[in-house]
A and B are shown apart, each in its own frame.
Chain A
Amino acid sequence: MSKLRKIFATDSYIVPLVAIVMGFLVGAIVMLVGGYDPIAAYSALFKRVFGSPYDFGEAIREMTPLMFTGLAVAFAFRSGMFNIGADGQVLIGMTAASVVGIKFAGALPNFVLVPLAVIIAGVCGGLWAGIAGYLKAKRGINEVITTIMLNWVALFLSNYIVRSFLLLQGQNRSEDIPASLSMTFLNSVFDNARLHWGTAIALAAAVFFYVYLWKTKQGYEMRAVGLNPHAAEYAGMNVGRNVIKAMFISGVFAGLAGAGEVLGVFHYQSVFAASPGYGFDGIAVALLGLTHPLGVILAAILYGTLTYGSAGMSFGADVPPELIRIVIGSIIFFIAAQGIVRWVLKPFYFKRKKEKVL
């Protein structure tokens, strides 16, 4: 019992939950102001996600890249860095997977080709993030600036590669990629929803995240560097190496997201007009999940549900899908401004303390 109370009394569980409820309330108020029925809208939203196997599968597809980028941002965050470049790392991962998947298609059997494409995508994403890590470690350049700049480089570099080496004649995309991560055996269950192994890899990545950071010596060093680089250095840790390593691992997560997208979802890579935005959503997911791997996975599920369900809102209740962005924005706002949530919760804390006294 006391253990149970301890779980529920911990801020880390309660604050996000209350923030989510408050976010939905703010969304409901906005809908009322706009003359929409919030109950109809929210039920349409959840009906869209859980209403049919196809939609449920597609919602999982929507969550998968968010899990990866959320983990990427959270990992860097734990090591004291703000990786805004997950978007670029996703693109580099996509491009690497496409290049391997198309160019080595004839030469290698599928069971070698697919893992190879995934691994190279991860490594390339990691190296891309590693550039920012290296510049931070060796030259002291703020990673926020370098990762943002690298996003653009990644966007145009991958467009260039697709256009010049992989282009399908007369189209705005690459040739079809023979290597596939799709879970085709689930097609009949999920009605051809685009499920792929990336989801499983994302869950495995979350486990790796936890074990590495909290159960290994290297992870301990990384967290120490994240909490206080000066103290870590004084304690004899190599701060620069940890920074580069943390950025590399963060980039690997993002790169894997890219592999999942091209090998599992699209089976080709388009020429992007703008970066797909998974990296930026990943920042929100990481914050929402309080940069803990389990939290990030849950946050990605929530975020994916809301994003995918928003189309159902406009379809079923004629509510503009942009409204869901208000809900998401408010949730993040309340999590960032924890004081507001605590203030709302205060009376409940009072009550509990009184009970204790009695």
Chain B
Amino acid sequence: MKKLYQLSLVMLLAFTVILAGCGNNNNNSGNAGGKNAGAATNAPAEATAAPTDAPKTDVKVGMVTDVGGVNDKSFNQSAWEALQALEKETGIEIKYLQSKSNADYEPNLNQFVKGGYNLTWGIGFDLGDAIKKVATENPNANLAIIDSVVDAPNVESVTFSENEGSFLVGVVAGLTTKTNKVGFIGGMESPVIKRFEVGFKAGVLAVNPKATVKITYAGAYDKPDIGKSLAATLYNDGNDIIFPAAGATGNGVFNEAKSRNKAGGSKVWVIGVDKDQSLEFGDDVTLTSMIKRVDEAVKKVSQQVVDGTFKGGTTTVLGLKDNGVGLPETSKANVSADILAKVDEYTKQIIDGTIKVPAE
């Protein structure tokens, strides 16, 4: 028995040494990959872009995700990708922290604020209270938040007119549906998601009064399994287009649609949200996407910090006319030219105020 033990100890040591060797190799070849662990999509690109040719600045920008996490293929990810792009352009230092629960928001924000970061982003409506508290306790820190309005002199708030963009995808859905039934899956009931819901419904009914819009809520932004089962119910019910506005929960909707289209039967569609999700999930299921330019907003405000023009205390509302929401170019793949013309028509009417899209 003793011998066996000694043998196993030697083996363990040898194993550790070998592994340590592997570890070092990895480190040498992929420094940048390790640095931005988690942001898988852009890691290889990062490795090639040597930081030497980027202009040097010592600005540090931190970002705290909501519980959806940085790889939600939705707005946390767009925000992070925007920061990565800015890192390449200006050489700023960036870092993110993921929140496991809403108790983490405050310590995560504080980690950046107390770590001397020049700007700290809170991504998502849920971080509003935490941002407010941290901003009040640290009046010299700069903070910014997406999707919520925080009334503090050192916080920049960015919100979007999701109802306008959702109206447009509603128009597409209303004109594309064959069954005259479309579905909507919200994350959790909140003013933000309500704007998606109301805008979408108004858009569908504006072009297709016969259609019905079935509204459901998943109750979570991070549960693809719930998204998948809700999508199955909606598709079984005869809805042929679903618009999920539910963060990572929506990934389950794509998954369900994909397996249905693969199995044959009647064609079903998903409308992407926040990002151009056809790039992520493919043109075979993504009809179009309601893009919310979180990336543009994050980039713009972060750039202000780099340039030293950050003011804070203001609220920016980005709508159709600011190009803050809208449809991606890739929509042409699945949406006919007639429908896109109709979308353009509505876009003009919304911008010049002929049509007022309800928000709640």
Chain A residues with a Cβ under 8 A of chain B: 29, 31-37, 48, 52, 54-55, 58, 61-62, 170-173, 192, 194, 261, 265-266, 268, 270-271, 273-274, 276-277, 308, 311-312, 314-315, 318-321, 343-344, 346-347, 350
CB of B110 within 8 A of CB of A346, answer no
Residues of B within 8 A of A34 (CB): 23, 26
**Contacting residues of chain B (175-200) with chain A, CB-CB under 8 angstroms:** 187-191
Residues of B within 8 A of A61 (CB): 103
CB of B23 within 8 A of CB of A273, answer no
CB of B38 within 8 A of CB of A315, answer no
Q: When A32-B16, A271-B188, A315-B95 are in contact, do A308 and B107 touch as well, CB less than 8 Å?
A: yes
Residues of B within 8 A of A268 (CB): 129
Residues of B within 8 A of A314 (CB): 37, 97-98
Question: How distant is the Cα of A31 from the Cα of B20 in the complex, in angstroms?
Answer: 9
CB of A54 within 8 A of CB of B110, answer yes
In the complex, B93 has a CB within 8 A of chain A:
no
Residues of B within 8 A of A344 (CB): 5
Within the complex, which residue of A52, A308, A321, A350 is in contact with B98, where a contact is CB–CB below 8 Å? Answer: A321
Q: Using CB atoms, name the residue of chain B closest to A155.
A: B219
Residues of B within 8 A of A192 (CB): 137
Residues of B within 8 A of A271 (CB): 188-189
Q: Using CB atoms, name the residue of chain B closest to A176.
A: B129
Question: How distant is the Cα of A308 from the Cα of B110 in the complex, in angstroms?
Answer: 13
Q: When A29-B16, A55-B107 are in contact, do A318 and B101 touch as well, CB less than 8 Å?
A: no
**Smallest distance from the beta carbon of B42 to chain A beta carbons, Å?**
15
Residues of A within 8 A of B220 (CB): 273-274
Q: Using CB atoms, name the residue of chain A closest to B128.
A: A171
CB of A172 within 8 A of CB of B107, answer no
CB of B22 within 8 A of CB of A32, answer yes
Binds A, one of B27-35, B201-209, B287-295: B27-35
Question: How distant is the Cα of A277 from the Cα of B104 in the complex, in angstroms?
Answer: 13
Question: How distant is the Cα of A277 from the Cα of B67 in the complex, in angstroms?
Answer: 13
Q: When A35-B34, A36-B34, A170-B191 are in contact, do A194 and B23 touch as well, CB less than 8 Å?
A: no
Question: How distant is the Cα of A166 from the Cα of B20 in the complex, in angstroms?
Answer: 55
Q: Using CB atoms, name the residue of chain B closest to A276.
A: B101
Q: Using CB atoms, name the residue of chain A closest to B33.
A: A35
Residues of B within 8 A of A312 (CB): 111
Question: How distant is the Cα of A322 from the Cα of B35 in the complex, in angstroms?
Answer: 16
Residues of B within 8 A of A172 (CB): 125-126, 188-190
CB of A32 within 8 A of CB of B5, answer no
Residues of A within 8 A of B23 (CB): 31-37
**Contacting residues of chain B (76-125) with chain A, CB-CB under 8 angstroms:** 95, 97-98, 100-104, 106-108, 110-111, 114-115, 125
Within the complex, which residue of A194, A276, A346 is in contact with B106, where a contact is CB–CB below 8 Å? Answer: A194
Residues of A within 8 A of B129 (CB): 173, 268
**Smallest distance from the beta carbon of B111 to chain A beta carbons, Å?**
6
Interface residues of B, CB < 8 Å — how many? 49
Within the complex, which residue of A274, A320, A343 is in contact with B37, where a contact is CB–CB below 8 Å? Answer: A320
**Smallest distance from the beta carbon of B70 to chain A beta carbons, Å?**
10
5 contacts between A and B (CB under 8 A): A29-B15, A172-B126, A315-B115, A346-B5, A350-B2
CB of A273 within 8 A of CB of B219, answer yes
Question: How distant is the Cα of A344 from the Cα of B125 in the complex, in angstroms?
Answer: 50
**Smallest distance from the beta carbon of B225 to chain A beta carbons, Å?**
11
In the complex, B1 has a CB within 8 A of chain A:
yes
**Contacting residues of chain B (28-69) with chain A, CB-CB under 8 angstroms:** 30, 34-38, 67
Question: How distant is the Cα of A192 from the Cα of B19 in the complex, in angstroms?
Answer: 43
CB of A311 within 8 A of CB of B223, answer no
**Smallest distance from the beta carbon of B143 to chain A beta carbons, Å?**
15
In the complex, B222 has a CB within 8 A of chain A:
yes
In the complex, B221 has a CB within 8 A of chain A:
yes
Residues of A within 8 A of B221 (CB): 273
CB of A32 within 8 A of CB of B19, answer yes
Q: When A192-B137, A311-B108 are in contact, do A62 and B103 touch as well, CB less than 8 Å?
A: yes
Residues of A within 8 A of B95 (CB): 315
Residues of B within 8 A of A270 (CB): 102, 126
Question: How distant is the Cα of A31 from the Cα of B188 in the complex, in angstroms?
Answer: 36
Taking A321-B98, A347-B2 as known contacts, 10 extra A-B pairs with beta carbons closer than 8 A to each other, sorted by chain A number, are A29-B16, A33-B22, A34-B23, A35-B22, A35-B26, A62-B103, A273-B67, A311-B97, A318-B35, A318-B37
CB of B104 within 8 A of CB of A311, answer yes
CB of B111 within 8 A of CB of A311, answer yes
CB of A347 within 8 A of CB of B5, answer yes
Residues of A within 8 A of B35 (CB): 318
Within the complex, which residue of A29, A276, A315 is in contact with B19, where a contact is CB–CB below 8 Å? Answer: A29
Residues of B within 8 A of A321 (CB): 98, 100
Residues of B within 8 A of A308 (CB): 107
Residues of B within 8 A of A37 (CB): 23, 27
Question: How distant is the Cα of A29 from the Cα of B22 in the complex, in angstroms?
Answer: 11
Question: How distant is the Cα of A302 from the Cα of B82 in the complex, in angstroms?
Answer: 37
Residues of B within 8 A of A33 (CB): 19, 22-23
CB of A315 within 8 A of CB of B126, answer no
Q: Using CB atoms, name the residue of chain B closest to A273.
A: B220
Q: Using CB atoms, name the residue of chain B closest to A48.
A: B111
Question: How distant is the Cα of A314 from the Cα of B16 in the complex, in angstroms?
Answer: 23
Within the complex, which residue of A35, A274, A320 is in contact with B223, where a contact is CB–CB below 8 Å? Answer: A274
For the complex of A and B, list the 3 residue pairs with the smallest distance between their C-beta atoms, beginning with the closest. Answer: A35-B26, A273-B220, A32-B23
CB of A318 within 8 A of CB of B34, answer yes
**Smallest distance from the beta carbon of A178 to chain B beta carbons, Å?**
16
**Smallest distance from the beta carbon of A344 to chain B beta carbons, Å?**
8
Q: Using CB atoms, name the residue of chain A closest to B19.
A: A32
Q: Using CB atoms, name the residue of chain B closest to A28.
A: B16
Residues of B within 8 A of A55 (CB): 107
Question: How distant is the Cα of A31 from the Cα of B222 in the complex, in angstroms?
Answer: 26
Residues of A within 8 A of B103 (CB): 61-62, 261, 265-266, 276
Question: How distant is the Cα of A32 from the Cα of B25 in the complex, in angstroms?
Answer: 10
**Smallest distance from the beta carbon of B104 to chain A beta carbons, Å?**
7
Residues of A within 8 A of B25 (CB): 35
Residues of A within 8 A of B30 (CB): 35
Chain B 271-313 interface 0/1 with A at a Cβ cutoff of 8 Å (1 = within):
0000000000000000000000000000000000000000000
**Smallest distance from the beta carbon of B102 to chain A beta carbons, Å?**
6
Question: How distant is the Cα of A261 from the Cα of B191 in the complex, in angstroms?
Answer: 25
Question: How distant is the Cα of A11 from the Cα of B199 in the complex, in angstroms?
Answer: 64
Residues of A within 8 A of B37 (CB): 314, 318-320
Question: How distant is the Cα of A192 from the Cα of B2 in the complex, in angstroms?
Answer: 54
**Smallest distance from the beta carbon of B314 to chain A beta carbons, Å?**
20
Question: How distant is the Cα of A192 from the Cα of B100 in the complex, in angstroms?
Answer: 21
